[in-house]
Amino acid sequence: MTYRDRHDAGRQLAAELAMTGPADPVVLALPRGGVPVAYQVARVLQAPLDVLIVRKLGHPVQPEFAIGALGEGGVRFLDDASIDEFDISTRELQDVTEIEQAELRRRSQRYRRGRDPVPIEGRNVILVDDGLATGSSARAAVEVARQRGAAQVVLAVPVAPESAVAQLRRVADTVLCMQTPRWFGSVGSYYDDFEQTTDEEVARLLDRAEAQRTDATLPISEVD
């Protein structure tokens, strides 16, 4: 089964979460592609919507190889085994961290347009993405949500391989995945329209969700 687009996937995911999800949640999207999906989830659940921005800390020479991750609020966790194995120095680690901190700040300002992050301490959190391949970013997001004080962390995605779901069930309280194909391929192959989500679209959807949450007279748009 394929989804028409990310909004279609979000509506289907929202229908499941309305029956099985936690009470009074905060919905956090993994940008960029997770935001249109999460917008629909937050709309149906009438929940606050925000982004959870996670930046991978890459190996200084091989940036695609993760040695840790960085989250907002000064949250950082490291893969100590990899750091020791590759003999990464404190200076190298600090340089990588500073670069990703700058990008994290840039994205936060770009997406929220100056708003503070939605508080999640003591709240039930639903983390949403448009799909998982390896699950490494989602795992980092779960850790960041916990360090920010989330009471319960539910990871909800339209599609992911069985192996990634199994690993994430070890760290999240609950994992809801609509499709877990044995032969996975890529996330995009499960969407008819998988056009890249832009920074502007992320900011626009967050603006719309915030306006609808704070002004009950505004119509709740599905955003086709």
CA–CA distance, 25 with 162 (Å, rounded to integer) = 26
pLDDT of residue 218: 59
Q: Are residues 156 and 184 in the same domain?
A: yes
Residues 165-188 as b or e (16 or more Cβ within 10 Å = b): bebbeebbbebbbbbbeeebeebe
Average pLDDT of adjacent 10-residue blocks, the chain of 224 residues: 96 97 96 97 96 90 83 81 89 92 92 92 97 87 92 98 93 96 92 96 96 67 62
Structural domain contains residue 128: yes
Q: Are residues 200 and 146 in the same domain?
A: yes
Q: Are residues 46 and 59 in the same domain?
A: no
Structural domain contains residue 222: no
Q: In terms of residue numbers, what domain contains 169?
A: 6-50+119-209
pLDDT of residue 224: 55
pLDDT of residue 120: 95
Structural domain contains residue 13: yes
pLDDT of residue 9: 98
CA–CA distance, 115 with 93 (Å, rounded to integer) = 30
pLDDT of residue 174: 97
Q: Are residues 168 and 145 in the same domain?
A: yes
pLDDT of residue 140: 86
pLDDT of residue 216: 56
Q: Are residues 125 and 45 in the same domain?
A: yes
CA–CA distance, 69 with 139 (Å, rounded to integer) = 10
Q: Are residues 89 and 106 in the same domain?
A: yes
Provide the whole-model pTM.
0.88
CA–CA distance, 145 with 120 (Å, rounded to integer) = 8
pLDDT of residue 217: 55
CA–CA distance, 57 with 67 (Å, rounded to integer) = 6
pLDDT of residue 221: 63
Structural domain contains residue 216: no
CATH number at residue 190: 3.40.50.2020
Which residues are bridge partners to 77 per DSSP? 69
pLDDT of residue 215: 67
Q: Are residues 28 and 77 in the same domain?
A: no
Q: Are residues 175 and 65 in the same domain?
A: no
CATH number at residue 92: 3.30.1310
Q: Are residues 102 and 126 in the same domain?
A: no
Contacts of 15 (CB under 8 A, 6+ apart): 44
pLDDT of residue 220: 57
Q: Are residues 21 and 126 in the same domain?
A: yes
Q: Are residues 174 and 203 in the same domain?
A: yes
Q: Are residues 30 and 134 in the same domain?
A: yes
